[in-house]
Amino acid sequence: MNIYGITKEKLEEYFLSIHEKKFKAIQVFEWLYQKRMNEIDGWSNIKKEIQEKIRNDFSFIMPKIIKREIDELTEKYLIELEDNEHIEAVLMHHDYGNSICVSSQVGCNMGCAFCESGRLKKVRNLETHEMVCQILLIEEITKERISSVVVMGIGEPFDNYEHVMDFIKIINDAKGIAIGARHITISTSGLVPKIKEFMNFPLQINLAISLHASNNELRNQLMNVNKAYNLDELLDTIRAYILKTNRRVTIEYVMLNNVNDREENALELAKILKGMNVYVNLIPYNETNHLEFKKSTKNQILKFYDILKKNKINVTIRKEFGSKISAACGQLRSKEVER
């Protein structure tokens, strides 16, 4: 097991299993995440023989950053994993701090028609440490602190549920990277059984749903997942989630020119979301070389926004980040794969 992939609770169990005090787990977390010291020899409050044991029982190998593209407010990283697969992470500078978009899988099997990650299919799930290290590596190279995390990079996080939840626990842990639960968001394409399971997850993290369509016919064309869990089922599950957790849900809606951006779509969307504690985030589409979809015009996005507003739906337009540096989900990896 990799040392960056174990939660504090599991590390406590480990120490108990080798007849050591469980507070050693806190000390290890402090070395890894607060002092950022992975030279185990330097762990001065841990005895040499236990250091040796930890060295034998855990791997300390981290993925590597192999490419960094910098735009004004965005930095995009291509990261190489131990088995030479590639993933991406994107750092965004906001006036309120830095946020990072992390990947959860190598590729994605959900096959959304407009998405570059889906085009390349899933190779494998990411291990927990491969997600944690996206944050550690970028904080190290930038010497800056990351204050919020969105799981919106390559992959469907709810198709890698256990590892993603352990990742959340580690980054949220006060002795870990200590990112507040309210500053963590998971985005899913709508895997209904996992949304139900997630209702019982103990941390107050945010949920975003990639809806992208206002009716089943359209959603079936754009997202295969809708054939397994359709809009009605998905909306019912979101309502149940809101009731159970009392938290507002984000609805993502990517604006595709002449596909889902017409006025009738806005009206239909307002109708199906009426009365729900949600806010809609309209996402300007990032065009890719391989897919025929085009981005909606600014005018069309504003019109769509106005219709939702008039119908009393909370709505924002996502700021465009890094379209110059292929910031759309999966574009950098896809270039690398092609090479």
Q: Active-site residues: which are they?
A: 88, 329
Burial class (CB in 10 A: 0-12, 13-18, 19+), 77: buried
Check binding of 286 to ligand SF4 (CB under 6 A): no
Check binding of 195 to ligand SF4 (CB under 6 A): no
Stretch that binds ligand SF4, among 64-72, 107-115, 163-171, 245-253 (CB under 6 A): 107-115
In angstroms, give the least distance from the CB of 283 to ligand SF4: 11
In angstroms, give the least distance from the CB of 181 to ligand SAH: 19
Q: What is the 3-state secondary structure (H, E, C) of the chain?
A: CEHHHCCHHHHHHHHHHCCCCCCHHHHHHHHHHHCCCCCHHHCCCCCHHHHHHHHHHCECCCCEEEEEEECCCEEEEEEECCCCCEEEEEEEEECCEEEEECCCEECCCCCCCCCHHHHCCCCEECCHHHHHHHHHHHHHHHCCCCCEEEECCCCCHHHCHHHHHHHHHHHHCCCCCCCCHHHEEEEECCCHHHHHHHCCCCCCCEEEEECCCCCHHHHHHHCCHHHHCCHHHHHHHHHHHHHHHCCCEEEEEEEECCCCCCHHHHHHHHHHHCCCCEEEEEEECCCCCCCCCCECCHHHHHHHHHHHHHCCCEEEECCCCCHHHCCCCCHHHHHHHHC
Check binding of 115 to ligand SAH (CB under 6 A): yes
Annotate each residue in 1-20 with x if it binds ligand SAH (CB under 6 A) or - if it does not, as one string: --------------------
Check binding of 117 to ligand SF4 (CB under 6 A): yes
Residue 195 contacts which entry, ligand SAH, ligand SF4, none (Cβ below 5-8 A, type-dependent)? none
Residue type, 239: R
In angstroms, give the least distance from the CB of 113 to ligand SAH: 10
Nearer to ligand SF4, 122 or 183 (CB): 122
Looking only at residues 271 through 300 of this chain, which bind ligand SAH when binding is defined by CB under 6 A? Answer: 283, 285-286, 288
Nearer to ligand SF4, 189 or 281 (CB): 189
Check binding of 329 to ligand SF4 (CB under 6 A): yes
Residue 286 contacts which entry, ligand SF4, ligand SAH, none (Cβ below 5-8 A, type-dependent)? ligand SAH
Check binding of 210 to ligand SAH (CB under 6 A): yes
Check binding of 332 to ligand SF4 (CB under 6 A): no
Nearer to ligand SF4, 74 or 189 (CB): 189
Interface residue with ligand SF4, options 189, 214, 260, 286 (CB under 6 A): 189
Looking only at residues 152 through 191 of this chain, which bind ligand SAH when binding is defined by CB under 6 A? Answer: 152, 156, 187-189
Site residues (vs ligand SF4, CB under 6 A): 108, 110-112, 115, 117-118, 155-156, 189, 210, 329
